[in-house]
A and B are shown apart, each in its own frame.
Chain A
Amino acid sequence: MSEIIRRDPRREWIARNRLHPDNAAVLAALGVNRGGGAVSEWMGPNGVVRKDPRAIGFIGPNGVKRIDRSGLQQGGQATATTTAARDSRRTVTIDQPAFLVAVVPDLTGGRLSGHDKDLLGLARRVADADAEQPGAVVAILFGEYKGEGGGELKEQTLGEAGIDRVVHLDDEFYAGFAPEARLAALSAVEREMTPRFWLFPDSPLGGADLGRRLALRLGERAATGVWQVEADNEASLGWRCTARGAAGSLDIQRPLPRVALALAECAEPVDETRHAAEHLTLAASIPTTLSRIEDLGQVAVDPAGVALAEAEFILSGGNGVKQWDAFHHAAKVLGATEGASRVAVDDGFMARDRQVGATGTWVTARVYMAVGISGAIQHLQGIQRCDKVVAINLDPGCDIIKRADLAVIGDSTQILAALVAMVEQQRGGQRDAA
């Protein structure tokens, strides 16, 4: 095409005349696409940028024209672009780390807990302090890792938490309470990789136990209850930490030792970068130790005796529960702790101490099953910290459905009955087989 701009006055005239029958066709030919609203700017015939103010923006959900100047949203393609924009984590790979920071997350229920993520954030801070010589974060995972989603997505969550290398040990003898086997594994990691720091979550029965054991094995005086870490050139390892001591009544400032046990919220979790989460295997096999501690497994505890605030699995009933006997029976069969909405409590079906919500108990269950509960804001507040919410409700439009990970629309009595029958049948089947 030649460089000379050729004008067609007639077409320009039609383009200006919005009432002309050929207007749309001419606009399309000129590259002005008003229908989709995508092109609101084009190069005019004289090499001047022309704008069509009417083509900017889009019609919002309420029929009002909206103009979004963030540059993200243009007309109908909004969703595609925003999701792409959200996924803007930088990918970081560290091939030649200057040093290693080892983290042993708790992996409660097979997933990284909030505490674990905070700790990984702290590990990243320590590792990335010197941009010239970045360290790598190696996570040692014991037991099954469930993650979010499956396949590649599963590995991605590890990387997004800030993990560069993963040592995954899910042999059977690490399951349950096996401090001696786990300690042997960590000692093997120490021998092979010699990380500069070992970080543990200071959470009862997870890192708190293992971390102290490792510290003594390595002959380090661990810092426990660490909640703040700052760079400090005078300290031997370059960092200073503030730790809680004396039952939380004292702040101890000391140089950060090699082994540290940190509290929750010790640092911000990683959210801007994605790391490789590359799998490593230990070269030497880990010597199996003869354990003097034998784990006989968990003991069945009466779920009704467990405090609501720390129950793991709650079956909660609201105004939509019509047969309370069946509800109590279901809770017993499922082995769930019972909870209730305020209406169920006010109507006298449940005790006051079973109320979940703003004026009741704030629960932390891993699985919260809401039966016939509409999800009023006062109730939803109480279940903020629950992992998975299951809702059974007649109304597909109510608020609990938006919060729920799995919602079943139907009558609560029938669905609970079906669920109880299914669980009983499965248990019966197992017993027959055994």
Chain B
Amino acid sequence: MQPDLHQKQQQGIDVAVLVSIGRHPTTGRARRAEQDARGLELALAIEAELPGTRISMLHAGSQDDSSEAALRGYLGMGLESMTLLEQPEGSDAILPLVEHLAATSPQLVITGARAERGEGSGLLPYALAEHLGWPLVNSLASVEKVENGVVTLLQALPRGQRRRLKVRLPAIISVDEAAPVARQSAFGPARRATFAITTTTSEADSELAQWHLSPARKRPKRLKIVKAASARDRFKAAASKSEGKGGQVLTDVSPEQGAEAIYKLLKEEDVLR
């Protein structure tokens, strides 16, 4: 992050972090969700850089013992309270979240890319963006600076690459595994933190109820099917080791000519920067 942020006169921004109940991959127990915790970590990093930033944490769902334990996992990262939009089990979380965000109008909304329970389709951030009409950036790696209602971000690309983006606030950003790892949750502060509970209008998710859910089956491995007209071709395909298409071979060339050919290929493939 930029060191000059401290010198500049900055007031903080309002950040809303949306969190969900996670699921431990082996035991299936409720826990803080991996990606959402990273989102909160990102918000805490912004707060550290921009004094005066207010973080509000939101969860829409039902309140019971196991979910409360999971939510306290987030609170133990350094928050004093959070807002719980209470709704019965199996309701659509999008509507109350949209209403709440529209009413409180934070400048930045941070969500995980997809939930660890339920449908887990990763559509929620997009639904919020569409309903609120805010820009959305996915797969965030870090927030570089916030200035005059414009936030500069680093987006993670495949293969470890990064892309710098400038986004006008208010905006929604979603984080996945590329964001920095969440800090540990401290038990004491987590116990002391409080919930502000609001009841909301909620609609049952009737579509989801009609679908057939089952534990994930192992996907069949793809077989290498050889389609050949004759037995000889099939035998050849099965027995021969796969040879490359036979590329270009340059023999008896000077090092410069060889280097030039390589250079051309690298340029063509666009890997030289």
Instruction: Report A's interface with B, CB cutoff 8 A.
Output: 68, 70-72, 85, 88, 108-109, 176-177, 179-180, 204-205, 208-209, 212-213, 215-217, 221-225, 227, 243-254, 265, 268, 271-272, 292-301, 305-307, 310-313, 334-336, 366-367, 369, 387-390, 392, 396, 401-411, 414-419, 421-423, 426
Contact = CB atoms under 8 A, between A and B. Distances in A.
B118 interface: yes
B115 interface: yes
B269 A252 contact: no
A422 B263 contact: yes
Contact of A334 (B119, B212, B249, B266): B266
28 contacts: A72-B232, A177-B155, A209-B139, A213-B126, A221-B207, A225-B121, A247-B116, A249-B25, A251-B213, A252-B211, A253-B212, A295-B164, A296-B165, A298-B157, A298-B163, A305-B160, A310-B159, A335-B271, A336-B271, A366-B271, A367-B271, A402-B244, A409-B250, A410-B253, A415-B255, A416-B259, A419-B262, A422-B263
A394 B160 CA distance: 33
A404 B261 CA distance: 13
Interface stretch (B130-138, B179-187, B196-204): B130-138
Interface stretch (B41-49, B62-70, B81-89, B216-224): B216-224
A325 B167 CA distance: 43
Interface residues of B, number: 83
A263 to B, nearest CB: 8
A216 B163 contact: no
Interface string B144-166: 00000000101101111111111
Contact of A415 (B122, B243, B258): B258
B162 A418 contact: no
B227 interface: yes
Given A253-B214, A298-B163, A212 B126 contact: yes
Nearest to A224: B121
Contacts of B16: none
A176 B269 contact: no
B272 interface: yes
Contacts of B176: 204
Nearest to B34: A247
B29 interface: no
Contacts of A297: 163-164
Contacts of A366: 269, 271
Given A246-B115, A405-B245, 6 more contacts: A208-B138, A213-B129, A216-B123, A293-B168, A404-B249, A422-B263
Given A204-B176, A271-B227, A410-B255, A245 B123 contact: no
B164 A296 contact: yes
B142 to A, nearest CB: 11
Contacts of A249: 23, 25, 28, 116, 215-216
A335 B272 contact: yes
